[in-house]
Structure 1
Amino acid sequence: MKKGFLFLLIVMITIAAVGCGKSKKNVIRFATWDSAEVLEVQRDIAKRFEELNPGVKVQVEAYADGYSQKLAAGFGAKNPPDVMYMWDFPTYSASLESLNQYMEEDQSFKAILADLFPGIINYSTIDNQIYGLPVGYTSHVIYYNKAIFDEAGIPYPTNDWTWDEFREIARKVSDPSVGRYGFAVPTQPDPYDFEQFLWTDGTAYIAPDGSTVDGYLNSEATINRMQFFADMIKEGSALGAQESISRAFRGGNVVIQESGIWPLAAHIEAIGEENLGIVGLPRASKTVPASSVINSSAISMAKDAKNKELAWEFIKFYSSPEAVKMRAKTDLPVLKSVADELGYNEDPFYAPFYQMLETAENNTPAFLLHPQYSRIAEEISNAIEKIFVDTINGETVNVREILNYAVEESKQYFTDK
């Protein structure tokens, strides 16, 4: 009797253990930095993946504030989420699984790869290794107030406008006596975004091979572009903005704003669809296309993922037309087929973002070219801030000297590249 009971107990424990093992094997953890409406969309995508894969459970982990710290802690403890939202590839690439082999061997992924807008995937690629698939992006454009243009009798700008034409328009619509400026230059711009203004001039912060900033950050072209914006502040055609430029635009204090897609909805609500215009960034000349930086997010796999095959299947589904369409209300579609189906390429409020996206393949942002870019960016940021703040304060500004100093301060980060 006792032997029979003991045998039954062993069988039950074995079944339970097998069941638990199977359960854990079919669970993947998905970390996101989002909340509210965007998080709900991501949960819906996870549920849809579960429906298509009976027995699979996607555990959505919304880290929100402190995302980077929680992610780093997971990597450090060898217990990271299996898949996660990612943008900072230079920092985390050593902890991420390269997706090259999965993409090459999975024939069903070929159609998705061909459907991706060219260029976006470059932002999650380091040393030819792809560490994430794009899930959302924004290029940068120019917003302008049509009502003020109409009042001044100025034709709306077109995608072939130049920086000189841009400046002339800014002068015409400016009236500092009533607190209105054609443009606004942030006194503390994000160096990542600001680099796009150099690309159209044929320069950048750093050499293409990441070896130096000397001859790039302090090149004649960089000096001239920085001086261009400083002169606009000095002449009153641009506001040296230390507060929200988007609020100033909606309040009519700034007529032209450069930004990504983030303020679009608020701008439409504030001034109305009929008064909001969007156009591509200005060019250096009519024959040189403008260039936009891309702010993108991707979905990546941890190198220590517990179930890499299942993690890849989730990443692939997250990149599929079905999932991209589900995210269309919160992210610009990264697939050509979805953008076409939803009419984004023809919509006057979305088409400019896709037109500027076409330039994404032409340039590689500095943060992907050097492992200590964050330190270099601090020197760049300090230099740009000094140029613009000193200009606002009426001080004599030597742009060349300031940029040369930033180059010298940055050299210490190239010794161990």
Structure 2
Amino acid sequence: MRRAVLVAALAAGLLTGCGSDPGGQGDGPVEITWWHGQVETQAKTIEQLAADYNKAHPGVRIVPAVGTTNVDDMLQKVQAVLAGGKAPDIAYMYGTWMPHLAKNPKVYDLTATVKAPGFGWDDFWPSERAVSEVDGKVVGIPAVVDNLAVIYNKKLFDAAGVPYPGKDWTWDDFRDAARRLTKDGVYGTAYPVTGGEDTVWRFWPMIWQQGGAILTPDGRKSAFDTPQAAKALDLWSAMARQDKSVYLDQNGEKFLPLFQSGKIGMIVSGPFALLDVIDHKVDYGVQVLPGYDSNHETIAGPDNWVVFDNGSRRAKAAADFLTWLTRPEQDARWTLGLGNLPIRKATTALPAYDTFVKDFPDMDVFTANLDNAKQARPAVPVYPEFSEKVGDAISRALVGGTPVPQALTEAAAEADRVLERAR
């Protein structure tokens, strides 16, 4: 939902790769198919990592798959080959898919892998572990992690005489800055109102910061039709409809280019946005999200490597490979080398991290902000459909002017029906 286009393998190549298992359960080398979904520089890094592992582990052959299918279809692609009795050994999966995958008996339980001495599961940030674990089962091992903060244009702040945001700023400060920045064809900020998860994940932290929740503790009912949610959505509605300080991006693809061209003063986004911002030579800064009552909680978006059980020998080999892949030295090559945040705390102690921060100024703000990611999105299989109801409510309030209480109440009723059908 939030980084450069990822790709899975072509159908023919996938099926060929799945069916190939030299020595499968025998004594020969074991072949592991890896649906990584990367292109260009990312794919080259993957191929080099696989080659290095293969060289050091002659009993295993890691085979990265390549192709042109968007990763958004990865879950559907995997389910299709599972129905035919075949599956990759490792696949890249969005974190929001973990509750759904946890119910599939073909998904290999990685609990013993991450709890093994020397793995360092506690070295991963809590928000990553929370997404990886479903009902006590570790469904995936983190592949990529990000979070939301505010990226701002220093030149526009200076021109408007607005102080740069500080670590203790509030949402009222955010609104005031956006209002003062809005002039001469410049919007103070932006909000993607696609109605999808890109809309919703920007909303959840504002509820958490006020002590609110998304679901009831038993997970059976929605819990977002509350004063906390109303306060958050009222703020954005007032900014959009009264202050006219918010660019409402209805396809979700315009606000970043507008920020890069100096037409938007600040955006709520993740570290993935900095690559393009730097390329466009924007004089930028990064600050944590504004807060309520000194709470600057954010949301993380971890994606995972998931292992499928194609027999104990292959599953064990795949898990061993992921143990190697996620060690700090390999993590630095895979994440830092591609402009992503480290997935492990120990990686920040490597010289490569110092280089990373020099190449991507203020990226260390995003890294430190992982400590502000204290909760994960609800671990329910129907979360994508549940999220759509909330996204639609936000869009109707900001674009259509639907009163906030009405939008939230209607969304809660629809979300509860989604949860009810899933029981």
Please state which band the TM-score falls in when normalised by the shorter chain. 0.7 to 0.9
Q: Determine if the alignment matches structure 1 residue 237 to structure 2 residue 245.
A: yes
Give the alignment partner of residue 336 of structure 1, picking from 333, 345, 348: 345
Q: Deviation string for 1:94-127 (max 9, x for gaps)?
A: 23111112333x3232xx3243233312111111
For 2:26 and 2:307, how far apart are their aligned partners in 1? 21
TM-score, normalization by structure 2: 0.84
For 2:235 and 2:224, how far apart are their aligned partners in 1? 15
2:99 aligned residue: 90
In the superposition, relative to structure 1, how do residues 233 and 52 fare at CA in structure 2: closer, same or farther (>3 Å)? same
Q: Deviation string for 1:311-330 (max 9, x for gaps)?
A: 11111111112211211212
2:362 aligned residue: 349
For 1:151 and 1:406, how far apart are their aligned partners in 2? 40
Conserved in 2, the CA contact under 8 Å of 1:204 and 1:222?
Answer: no
Secondary structure of the 2:201 match is helix
In the superposition, relative to structure 1, how do residues 321 and 227 fare at CA in structure 2: closer, same or farther (>3 Å)? same
Give the alignment partner of residue 191 of structure 2, picking from 162, 178, 185: 185
In the superposition, relative to structure 1, how do residues 24 and 413 fare at CA in structure 2: closer, same or farther (>3 Å)? farther
In the superposition, relative to structure 1, how do residues 399 and 22 fare at CA in structure 2: closer, same or farther (>3 Å)? same
Q: Deviation string for 1:13-71 (max 9, x for gaps)?
A: xxxxx979757651111111211111111111111111110132111123542423321
Q: Structure 1: which 5+ residue stretches go unaligned?
A: 1-17, 392-396
Conserved in 1, the CA contact under 8 Å of 2:140 and 2:304?
Answer: yes
2:412 aligned residue: 407
Task: Give the drift of 1:192.
Answer: 3.4
Q: Determine if the alignment matches structure 1 residue 197 to structure 2 residue 206.
A: yes
Conserved in 2, the CA contact under 8 Å of 1:345 and 1:354?
Answer: no
For 2:126 and 2:75, how far apart are their aligned partners in 1? 28
Q: How does 1:87-126 map to 2 (within 5 A)?
A: 87=94, 88-95=97-104, 96-104=107-115, 106-109=116-119, 112-126=120-134
Give the alignment partner of residue 303 of structure 1, picking from 304, 309, 325: 309
Conserved in 2, the CA contact under 8 Å of 1:135 and 1:299?
Answer: yes
Secondary structure of the 1:107 match is coil
For 1:184 and 1:134, how far apart are their aligned partners in 2? 30
For 1:19 and 1:221, how far apart are their aligned partners in 2? 58
Q: Which is worse superposed, 31-40 or 63-72?
A: 63-72
Q: Determine if the alignment matches structure 1 residue 50 to structure 2 residue 58.
A: no
1:131 aligned residue: 139
Q: How does 1:166-181 map to 2 (within 5 A)?
A: 166-175=174-183, 178-181=184-187
Q: Determine if the alignment matches structure 1 residue 294 to structure 2 residue 300.
A: yes
In the superposition, relative to structure 1, how do residues 20 and 250 fare at CA in structure 2: closer, same or farther (>3 Å)? closer
Task: Give the drift of 1:187.
Answer: 2.1
Conserved in 1, the CA contact under 8 Å of 2:150 and 2:269?
Answer: yes
Q: Aligned pair count?
A: 381
Q: Which is worse superposed, 191-200 or 246-255?
A: 191-200
Conserved in 1, the CA contact under 8 Å of 2:298 and 2:372?
Answer: yes
For 2:271 and 2:166, how far apart are their aligned partners in 1? 19
For 1:80 and 1:377, how far apart are their aligned partners in 2? 28
- The amino acid across from 1:313 in the alignment is D
For 1:206 and 1:115, how far apart are their aligned partners in 2? 28
For 2:259 and 2:331, how far apart are their aligned partners in 1? 31
Q: Structure 2: which 5+ residue stretches go unaligned?
A: 1-21
1:3 aligned residue: none
In the superposition, relative to structure 1, how do residues 277 and 35 fare at CA in structure 2: closer, same or farther (>3 Å)? same
Larger Rg: 1
For 1:295 and 1:20, how far apart are their aligned partners in 2? 35
Conserved in 2, the CA contact under 8 Å of 1:188 and 1:384?
Answer: no
In the superposition, relative to structure 1, how do residues 20 and 34 fare at CA in structure 2: closer, same or farther (>3 Å)? closer
Give the alignment partner of residue 374 of structure 1, picking from 384, 393, 411: 384
Task: Give the drift of 1:89.
Answer: 0.7
Task: Give the drift of 1:345.
Answer: 7.1
1:324 aligned residue: 331
Q: Which is worse superposed, 195-204 or 226-235?
A: 195-204
In the superposition, relative to structure 1, how do residues 26 and 167 fare at CA in structure 2: closer, same or farther (>3 Å)? same
Secondary structure of the 2:65 match is strand
Task: Give the drift of 1:269.
Answer: 2.1
Q: Deviation string for 1:228-273 (max 9, x for gaps)?
A: 101001121222222511011112211010101222111122234x
Q: Determine if the alignment matches structure 1 residue 37 to structure 2 residue 50.
A: no
2:17 aligned residue: none
For 1:147 and 1:107, how far apart are their aligned partners in 2? 50
